[in-house]
Amino acid sequence: MNILRDKVLKMLDDAHVQYELIKLPAGISLDVADHMKFHGRPMKYALATMIYVTEKGMVAAQRRGDTKVSSKKLREVLGVKRLRLATQEELGKLGLTAGLVPPVALDIPLYADKKMLELTEIYTGAADNEYGMKTTPKELFKVSHPTMGDFAVYEEGVVQQRVLQGMRPTGRLHLGNYLGSAKGMVQLQNDPNYETYYMVADVHAITTPYTVAELGNKRRDVLIDYLSVGLDPEKSALFFQSMVPEHAELSFYLSSVMTVARMQHLPTFKEKAKQYPEHVTMALLNYPILMAADILLYKASMVPVGLDQEPHMEVAREVARKMNELYGMDFPEPQSLQTATRYVPSLLGEGKMSKSVEGSSIGLTDDLATIKKRLAGAPTDSGKGYIKNGIYFAKNAVVDGTGNVSPSNGVKSLLEFVEIFEGKEKRDEYEKQYVGSGIRYGDLKAELAEAIDRELAPIRERRNELEAKPAYVDKVIKEGAERAKLIASATVAEVKGKMGLG
């Protein structure tokens, strides 16, 4: 039994504070870093409470784990001249032990660094080394009522970079989206050096013709796909773009630094204008600026997108540079995550895999029978030929449904999928067969279908589970948007101030 812990918990319970007690492993050190390792969360989510001695008496100061207290700043906040950490003996007089100071019930004035307010989860101790506690600053402050101040500075090396990515809700995800983007999203989420914000770009969806009655379900579908591939709302903020109106607001401010001519020359704009000649709207022209706003709103430096998004990424970098030069902002120039599968070819062999090209894709939640059917539609050749500069040429020109195929681009696509799902050695084997005894495409496709199915099966299963939990999905989206809004509103306020609109 621990008297102080009981007092702390009683205070929290009396004030209906939401928290979770977490049993710590026996013998864990008092080091905060060890605790955060155990919780599997980055240092920034640790809450440290330090006790200081000043000429006016003792005070407690709370900071995030990725910051340190600047004694100059804290002296200013407290209005004192002298400041030092309390000794073990002085702590003892307060009934405390170094390393085990609880976040509430301290009986001395409490100050909290304002950077804590950006966090929607926080880990701290409960006055002993047996239990840790997870809560939020907002909940905790309901009891402790600290004086907020700006006295902590980021510690070198522990600053996390931010990541933002969005997908338009134009249909269910396919292997191109998964390999080109979603896998990278999961990888960055699980890397403690990054803080991840992932949205469904529903505002982008209205830049081309769409059906109002379908948008609601479509954006939800993408969000459930995000959860199905392993995005974890405990780690990533998951939300709909339109829930954070700062995206649209910032995009207008940013549009003032880019010319119409620059936007009209983008290949993506030209393609869409050709595809929808009746809908060449201002919103379509503004598409890349809205995407730049998405990224810059979070000051994100990393964006896990496929190769086709590179022209848009260049616009985002240009906007960042201009805003920094003209208005003294500090936007990082965002980079695309470089992965081996940034370009996933169409099953048909021409161009990239895309929702909008019939027969080009395999859906993320297709079952084995469907995967087989889609692979069956991939064009092949006689199975024998030669390879020159990575291009496959059949010995005899073959005729398939679409006429003469030479070179055999469909074969190239298939072998790329073999490499992705079955490994490079397998591809080498098939290439040997191609220039030798010949490939039997029936066998190749059957094996490839099994390999793809093995990777997709767990995603399908999670999707089925999630579809039965609508309230959970709603909660994830609501909380994700709240987290995003904290950062987004701060950036918009800063931009407005720098642009003379504050």
Residue 164 interaction partner, one of ligand TRP, ligand ADP, none, beta carbon < 5-8 Å per kind: ligand TRP
Dihedral pair phi/psi, residue 274, rounded to 5°: -70, -40
Give the nearest residue (CB) to ligand ADP.
180
CA gap 125, 89 in Å, rounded: 20
CB of 134 to ligand ADP, least distance (A): 33
CB of 163 to ligand TRP, least distance (A): 9
CB of 40 to ligand TRP, least distance (A): 27
388 is catalytic: no
Site residues for ligand TRP per CB under 6 A: 164-168, 201, 204, 291, 294-295, 303, 305, 309, 312
Percent composition of the chain: helix, strand, coil (DSSP 3-state, to 5): 50, 15, 35
Residues 371 and 401: beta-carbon distance below 8 Å: no
Nearer to ligand TRP, 235 or 312 (CB): 312
CB of 118 to ligand ADP, least distance (A): 27
CA gap 316, 289 in Å, rounded: 7
Residue 137 interaction partner, one of ligand TRP, ligand ADP, none, beta carbon < 5-8 Å per kind: none
Residue 189 interaction partner, one of ligand ADP, ligand TRP, none, beta carbon < 5-8 Å per kind: none
Residue 353 interaction partner, one of ligand ADP, ligand TRP, none, beta carbon < 5-8 Å per kind: ligand ADP
CA gap 465, 251 in Å, rounded: 37
- Out of 235, 272, 299, 445, the active site residue is 272
CB of 434 to ligand ADP, least distance (A): 24
- Quote the tokens at residue 347: 């099953």
CB of 84 to ligand ADP, least distance (A): 52
Nearer to ligand TRP, 115 or 204 (CB): 204
CA gap 124, 139 in Å, rounded: 13
- Out of 352, 395, 485, 498, the active site residue is 352
- Out of 73, 322, 355, 498, the active site residue is 355
Site residues for ligand ADP per CB under 6 A: 167-168, 170, 176-177, 180-181, 305-306, 308-309, 342-344, 352-356
Residues 368 and 449: beta-carbon distance below 8 Å: yes
73 is catalytic: no
426 is catalytic: no
**DSSP letters for 321-366:** HHHHHHH-------EE---TTS-PBPTTSSSB--TTSTTS--BTT-
CA 95 to chain centre: 43
Residue 303 interaction partner, one of ligand ADP, ligand TRP, none, beta carbon < 5-8 Å per kind: ligand TRP
Sequence-distant (≥ 6) Cβ neighbours of residue 123 within 8 angstroms: 22, 35, 36, 39, 41, 45, 46, 47, 132, 133, 134
Residues 126 and 89: beta-carbon distance below 8 Å: no
- Quote the tokens at residue 395: 């010995």
Nearer to ligand ADP, 45 or 417 (CB): 417
Q: What count of Cα atoms within 13 Å lies in the side-chain half-sphere of residue 270?
A: 7
Positions marked active-site: 272, 352, 355
